[in-house]
A and B are shown apart, each in its own frame.
Chain A
Amino acid sequence: MRWYWFDRYTEFVRGKRATSVKCVSLAEPHLHDHFMYYPIMPHALVIEGVAQTGGLLICEYKNCQEKVILAKLVKAIFYCEAVPGDVLTYHAEVQYMNENGASITATSHIGDKLHAEFEMMFAYLDHNEFGDKELFGIKDYKHLFFNFHVYEIGKEEDGVTPISIPECFKNI
């Protein structure tokens, strides 16, 4: 099993913004006990899905050369609950980026209804943090971005030009 908490991107503007969808299904084991007779999508996993949506946007912009981690959940406000059958739409916008990390604002919607709002901060791990060990290899990243349809629907920073596949993903 892989730790995927959204299903695909529907919008991906390199280094700027991204929209993804997450289909909530009763087939997901975590809903069986959260809660029995009243299954709702755990807010912590919504946060993880939003963090993945924004974090991968930043990671791709940095050519997968940085270890991007969620460093701080600045704000998370939930207005309602998501239940099986709902389709959550996550939207993340990069607010700021420097050589140490990046911040985003994000929302989650169920249809037109605002489900939650977020502010998150991502940091780049020190390259020496794990010695020579890599958290993810370039093949893992390629797998992620292609599974999430980034290079089918993505755009360059101008929001118009179709996104190019980075050199690091070619020939592997």
Chain B
Amino acid sequence: MTIDPEIFEKVRATLCDALSVDEDEVTEEATLVGDLGAESIDFLDIVFRLEKAFGIKVERGELFPADIFENENYAQNNRLNAEGMAALRERLPFIDLTEFEKNPVVQEFPSKMTVADMCRFVQSKLG
């Protein structure tokens, strides 16, 4: 999915405000946790701001589907199995899971999320 430049600019502004980072740090490839320093509570702030900026509604668990991560048919010892990965891919088609799939430890999932993933998420919400 190609990223709409207008959406990228608005997501970038949102992330700059929520995470107090400079514009040039917010690239498509930047990870929210590793590169931009987001902590778990920042995701709630980011969701608030995205909802407001784009007029969208993000349900609880939509970005972090706990029902998949906590399903024992999908995750054993905090690692997703092949069925779990398939379920995740189906639920979050807008997120590039290539990096996460290499070592699918549940707790690592948020740290793999990139700015591009957030843009594609917003695009999918806007239809």
**Residues of A bordering B, CB below 8 Å:** 71-72, 74, 95-96, 98-101, 103, 121, 123
Contacts and interface: CB of A to CB of B under 8 A. Distances in A.
Interface stretch (B4-12, B26-34, B41-49, B102-110): B41-49
A132 to B, nearest CB: 21
A136 B126 CA distance: 40
Contacts of A103: 45, 48
B60 A96 contact: no
Interface in B30-86: 41-42, 44-45, 47-48, 51-52, 57, 60
B48 A71 contact: no
Contact of A72 (B45, B51, B57, B60): B45
B41 A71 contact: yes
B60 to A, nearest CB: 6
20 contacts: A71-B41, A71-B44, A71-B45, A72-B41, A74-B18, A95-B52, A96-B48, A96-B51, A96-B52, A98-B48, A98-B51, A99-B60, A100-B44, A100-B60, A101-B48, A103-B45, A103-B48, A121-B41, A121-B44, A123-B41
